[in-house]
Structure formats: structure tokens, C-alpha cells
């Protein structure tokens, strides 16, 4: 999934670079704050970056003579938190780009966004969500990790396909099925390996994962935050799934307002030349450059859901924070 130079257009690379830099800067600040033993952060994150690099070199067959490899973003996130995962994967990507020609330097923003942020930081709340929904205990933990790993890899590949398509390098009808299709299978390997790693850690070094200590006891504490995480994470996953796979099936029949407008004859009022906002991102839930309606709608739904979630999440956090400060 490493994008070389020249595949993604300037504006898209620029946008992803800005986004990735922001998230990375935030991750660095958070990690400095969070790690109990701050000095340990440097040797730990670096050794884990080397680990991820080495682990990515172990290929597994996915059938048809092709092979896939481990990504590791969600696994590191499960062990050390999403912000550490973002940093670790970014380090791996920079080294791969600089020393091994794996991924272009100009495409670092996109690669970090896909393989570090989407597969790690975004997949993490999905894992928390499933953990909160499933019964507590080892099985719930491993299943959540497996599902979230798979989702992370698939979403990352979808994002990669989108970046290629929006840059005009590869038509979405080809890029999307190719990337998401192969990675839906590679993702299964990712899920298996994630569970294997977490199981190995749980057996040999349970002291590493603070969550393990909570897993063994029956958690009566934090029930409230559990259910909030559960709703958030599961809701997000569900929304994304619906947007991605459900939107093409959305009924094309006019909805309530449209129907009434047709019957009462005032639908003409909403004609093209009277449009106030001409810069809608996805007019009529389509992406202009993409010819296939189904794929176009899917993607529009996907991006829209993520943006809506982002705004909603930020709005709620800010509101809660400010209301806490008032009391």
C-alpha cells in the first residue's frame, strides 16, 4: 500500500501532509504526557518500530500465488495506545521511504494517513467499541482486536484507492475494488497475526498491557465510560459499514419533502440557477469525477460519515469540557 512519488496529485498530497503532520505532532505531545516512565518512550517506540519493520517482512500467502504482509498499526495501538501507534508507524514509513524506496517522500503524508492514522488511530476506537459491547474477558478482547485490525486495513486500502482516484491516476472503478478486494483478504491475515501477538504478550509479559489487569477482574468500575465507548465505537463502525456498502442500495425514490414538492408543484423553485451554495462537496451525494454511481455514492457516504463523526465528536468533547469547567 506504499504510494510512490508521482501517483498522488499535489493538492491531495498537500492536504494529507498537513493532516498527518497535525496528528503526528499531537501524538508526540500526547505520548510525552502519557507514558508513566517518560524516558522509556524513546527506546520502546524505536524498538517497536524496528519490530514492525521486521514483522512486515514476513509474508503470508493469501491464495492465488500472491502474498500479503502484516501492517501492525492496530496491534501497536492495542498495546501502547493510538498515539504511540501513529508515531511508530510514521517512523517505519519514513525509514522505508528513505532507505528502501518503499513509498515516495512526497507521498509520506498520504502513506502516514493511510497506514498510521487510519489503520491505527481510527481503528482504535472501533476496537474499544467492540470490547465494550462484547462480554468482558479474553475472548472479547481478542475478537475486538481481530475485527478492528481487519477494519483498519480495509479502510486504509479504501483511503489509498481514493487518493489515487482523486488524483486521476487510477479510475475508482479499478482502484477501489482492487485495493479493497485484496486487502479484505490480507486483513484476515492481519487479524490473525494481531491476535497471535496479543496472545503472546498476554502469556509472556502480561505486565505490558494495563488493560489486562482490568480484564481479569470483573469490572464494575468504569461502566459508564464503557458504554459510551461502546456506543461510539460500534456506532462509528456501523455507520461506516452502512455508508460504504449500503448507500448504493439507497432508494432513489424521492423522500418525503421531494415528494410533497413534486405534488404541490414547487420543486421547480429549487432549480439550478437559484442555488445559493455552489461549492457543495458532494452534490447530490456523488463525486463528480467518478463515473460509477454505486462507487461514487459509497465513497461520498463514507467521507461524509467520517467528517460528520469528526465534527460531532469534537463538538461533544468541547461542550462537555466547557460545561465541566463551568460547574
Partner 1 sequence: MEHGFIDRYSSLESCIHRLDTRTRILAALGFLAVVVSTPPWHLQAFVIYAGLISWITALSRVPLRFVASRAALVLPFSALVALGLPFIGGGEKVVFFGIPLAVNGLWILAGAIMKSFLGAVAIVLLVSTTPFGLLLDGLRRLKAPALFIDLLALTYRYLFILVDESQRLRRAARARGYAPRWLPQAVVIGRLIGNLFVRSYRRAERIYNAMRLRGYDGQIPAAQTRPFSLSESLLLAVIILALVSIRIIAA
**Subset of residues 44 to 63 that bind partner 1, contact rule: CB under 8 A:** 44-51, 53-55, 57-58, 60-63
CA distance to 95, 103, 312, per residue, from 27 (Å): 19, 22, 21
93 lies in the binding site for partner 1 (CB under 8 A): no
Which residue carries 465510560 as its cell?
A: 225
**Residues paired with 1 in a beta bridge:** none
CA neighbours closer than 13 Å in the CB half-sphere of residue 117: 21
> Would you say 40 or 266 has its CB closer to partner 1?
40
What is the biggest distance separating any 2 CA atoms in the chain, rounded to whole angstroms?
A: 72
104 lies in the binding site for partner 1 (CB under 8 A): yes
Which residues, 174 to 233, sit near partner 1 by CB under 8 A? 174-175, 185, 188-189, 192-201, 204-205, 208
- DSSP letter, residue 135: P
Work out whether strand 66-69 and strand 59-63 pair parallel, antiparallel, or are unpaired.
antiparallel
User: How far apart are the C-alpha atoms of 327 and 317, rounded to whole Å?
Assistant: 16
Which residues, 240 to 259, sit near partner 1 by CB under 8 A? none
Q: Which stretch binds partner 1 (CB under 8 A): 167-175, 266-274, 292-300, 319-327?
A: 167-175
Which residues, 9 to 38, sit near partner 1 by CB under 8 A? 10, 13, 24-25, 28, 32, 38
E-assigned strand segments in the chain: 59-63, 66-69
134 lies in the binding site for partner 1 (CB under 8 A): no
Least distance between partner 1 and beta carbon 100 (Å): 8
Least distance between partner 1 and beta carbon 199 (Å): 6
Q: Which stretch binds partner 1 (CB under 8 A): 161-169, 264-272, 303-311, 312-320?
A: 161-169
User: Cβ distance 84 to 27 under 8 Å?
Assistant: yes
> Would you say 72 or 301 has its CB closer to partner 1?
72
Amino acid at each position: 500500500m506504499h504510494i510512490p512519488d508521482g501517483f498522488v496529485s499535489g493538492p491531495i498530497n498537500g492536504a494529507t501532509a498537513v493532516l498527518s503532520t497535525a496528528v503526528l505532532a499531537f501524538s508526540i505531545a500526547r505520548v510525552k504526557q502519557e507514558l508513566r516512565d517518560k524516558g522509556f518512550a524513546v527506546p520502546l517506540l524505536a524498538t517497536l518500530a524496528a519490530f514492525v519493520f521486521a514483522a512486515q517482512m514476513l509474508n503470508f500467502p493469501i491464495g492465488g500465488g500472491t502474498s500479503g504482509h502484516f501492517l501492525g498499526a492496530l496491534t501497536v495501538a492495542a498495546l501502547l495506545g493510538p498515539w504511540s501507534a501513529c508515531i511508530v508507524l510514521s517512523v517505519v514509513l519514513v525509514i522505508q521511504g528513505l532507505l528502501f524506496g518503499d513509498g515516495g517522500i512526497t507521498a509520506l503524508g498520504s502513506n502516514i494517513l493511510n497506514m498510521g492514522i487510519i489503520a491505527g488511530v481510527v481503528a482504535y476506537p472501533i476496537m474499544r467499541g467492540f470490547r465494550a459491547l462484547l462480554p468482558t474477558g479474553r475472548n472479547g478482547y481478542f475478537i475486538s482486536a481481530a475485527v478492528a485490525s481487519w477494519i483498519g486495513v480495509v479502510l486504509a486500502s479504501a483511503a489509498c484507492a481514493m487518493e489515487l482516484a482523486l488524483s486521476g491516476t487510477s479510475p475508482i472503478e479499478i482502484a477501489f475494488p482492487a485495493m479493497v478486494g485484496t486487502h479484505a483478504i490480507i486483513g484476515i491475515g492481519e487479524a490473525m497475526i494481531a491476535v497471535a501477538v496479543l496472545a503472546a504478550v498476554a502469556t509472556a509479559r502480561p505486565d505490558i498491557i494495563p488493560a489486562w489487569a482490568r480484564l481479569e477482574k470483573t469490572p464494575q468500575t468504569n461502566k459508564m465510560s464503557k458504554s459510551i465507548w461502546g456506543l461510539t465505537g460500534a456506532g462509528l463502525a456501523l455507520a461506516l459499514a452502512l455508508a460504504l456498502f449500503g448507500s448504493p442500495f439507497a432508494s432513489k425514490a424521492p423522500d418525503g419533502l421531494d415528494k410533497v414538492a413534486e405534488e404541490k408543484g414547487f420543486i421547480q423553485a429549487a432549480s439550478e440557477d437559484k442555488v445559493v451554495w455552489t461549492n457543495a462537496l458532494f452534490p447530490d451525494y456523488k463525486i463528480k469525477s467518478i463515473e460509477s454511481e454505486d462507487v461514487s455514492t459509497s465513497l461520498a457516504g463514507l467521507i461524509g460519515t467520517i467528517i460528520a463523526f469528526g465534527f460531532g465528536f469534537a463538538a461533544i468533547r468541547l461542550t462537555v469540557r466547557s460545561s465541566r469547567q463551568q460547574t
